[in-house]
Amino acid sequence: MKCPYCKSDETAVIDTRVSEDGASIRRRRECESCDKRFTTYERVELAMPVVVKASGFRIAYDRERVRTGFARALHKRPVPTQYVDAAIDRIEQRILARGEREISSRTVGEMVMQELKKMDSVAYIRFASVYEDFQRVDEFREKVLELKRPGRKVRPRAQGK
């Protein structure tokens, strides 16, 4: 570790502590050249897979893009921010658990829909309508009926019946 003051490579660790949450290690260091002290932190760095768009274009996974999707769907809905954070954490854990270098944007979108379905039915329908590109009222009706009868796909009734 280089000293931030004199750039020397000769530093010594004089104290090590695990953070309160257990997610990082704090190290107090002293430069052997200039005798100044500084603190460093060690954290686990997990590499998220690359997201493959429907067009085949590849982009880096971006937590803020997922958060924006939740925010748009949950606009003016009574869902606390901590629920969204927890949902995003669950999505990221599922993505990492797959152990793949790439993941389709479709798969990420489906994970978001699963989380929204548990959180807020209006937000779920909003997200689904954009994500699945609804073109007809019947598509909305089918999604709403799906919510009423979990686990069963229900076909919309014919007009006039």
Q: Amino acid letter at 118? A: K
- 69 & 139 share domain: yes
Beginning with the edge strand found earlier in the chain, give each strand of the sheet holding 11-18 in spatial order. Answer: 11-18, 24-31, 37-43
Query: How far apart, in whole angstroms, are the C-alpha atoms of residue 73 and residue 124?
Result: 7
Strands (E), the chain: 11-18, 24-31, 37-43, 50-52, 58-60, 102-104
140 and 121 in a common domain: yes
pLDDT (0 to 100) of residue 6: 95
The predicted pLDDT at position 43 comes to 83
Residue with more model confidence, 75 or 136:
75
- Rounded to two decimals, the pTM is 0.61
Percentage with pLDDT > 90 across the chain: 58
pLDDT mean over 74-101: 92
Q: Domain span at residue 17? A: 11-43
pLDDT in tens, 8-50: 999 999 999 997 778 789 999 999 999 999 999 888 777 899 9
Same structural domain, 68 and 104:
yes
| Maximum C-alpha span of the chain | 87
Q: What is the pLDDT of residue 161?
A: 38
Of 123, 114, 110, 126, give the one whose Cα is nearest residue 150. Answer: 114
Both 35 and 76 in a single domain? no
